[in-house]
Structure 1
């Protein structure tokens, strides 16, 4: 089950059925089935509070992924996305909002699938995977 929720803002994913199918196909390509995957869209302030409370970080971020998976090859989790950050990132990277949102959506899925971005080399590998799946949308 793949769900889209808005927390403290009014946000709706463009083309939700197509987006869900795309995310599910990416998951299958990575060798995973989705059990329950919740994307929660929120403001910068809302995600900052989550960042402080759960990760002890005091800065804005575009995404926080909580992995609730209990079985191998089955994804279950909650992915919080700051719509404010995605808008800002789209401007910074000279991208349109829809493309940047898709990048962040797939970024969270890739984290659940085991990809990390803690070093430059890992960031580059993850960016390559993001680009691969963005081209499939």
Structure 2
């Protein structure tokens, strides 16, 4: 098995070209390799500001749109209900064991930020995707050290994929 990307587009304001999806798949492989992760599945949903605002309010109690949200399936369980799945025989496979989690990106917010930062929308979406992926693996930026570590990892992945600033 390898790292797999399952994606959907739930917004109609900005086109998501197929080469961008190929680039995101490349970023997933590079980031996974850098983290020593070879197997798993990530679900990516492109949305708009209205939908991500609703998710941000519902899941984080923050009443504004954001650029990216991550929902890890391989969490430590401290804030989530434990999921128990019993495998009845050796032939059955746990359907969530390979799921790393879900990433939701507001394409509208990504476009705003790409214009603010003076780089392409493709680069901004790539950055947000890698950022979300690192959150799925347990990284955070709640303090200066965590932020520096995430920033370094994100930039290394983007640079290796040719998406540097």
Counterpart Cα distance in 2 of 1:23 and 1:33: 10
Deviations 1:99-131 (A, max 9, x none): 111111110111112211112332222111111
Structure 1 or 2, whichever has the larger Rg, is: 2
**Larger helix proportion of the pair:** 1
Scaled by the length of structure 1, the TM-score of the pair is 0.87
Aligned CA distance change for structure 1 residues 4 and 91 (closer, same or farther; 3 Å):
same
Q: Please name the residue that 1:127 is paired with.
A: 151
Over aligned residue pairs, what C-alpha RMSD do you find?
Answer: 2.2
Scaled by the length of structure 2, the TM-score of the pair is 0.73
Asked if 1:103 is matched to 2:106, the reply is no
Q: Please name the residue that 2:8 is paired with.
A: 5
Counterpart Cα distance in 2 of 1:18 and 1:90: 17
Task: Give the total of aligned pairs.
Answer: 136
Partner of 1:33, secondary structure, is coil
Q: Please name the residue that 2:82 is paired with.
A: none
Contact 1:75 1:112 in 2 (8 A): no
> Greater relative contact order: 1 or 2 (C-alpha under 8 angstroms, separation 6 or more)?
2
The CA deviation at 1:33 is 3.3
Unaligned runs of 5+ in 2: 77-97
Structure 1 consecutive aligned stretches of length 4 or more whose deviation exceeds 6 Å: none
Unaligned runs of 5+ in 1: none
Contact 2:72 2:137 in 1 (8 A): no
Deviations 1:28-75 (A, max 9, x none): 22022342210100000000001111111101210000001279xx65
Q: After the TM superposition, which residues 1-137 of structure 1 pair with which residues of structure 2 at under 5 Å, given as runs?
A: 1-9=4-12, 11-15=15-19, 16-69=21-74, 76-137=100-161
Contact 2:53 2:66 in 1 (8 A): yes
Counterpart Cα distance in 1 of 2:118 and 2:30: 27
Aligned CA distance change for structure 1 residues 122 and 135 (closer, same or farther; 3 Å):
same
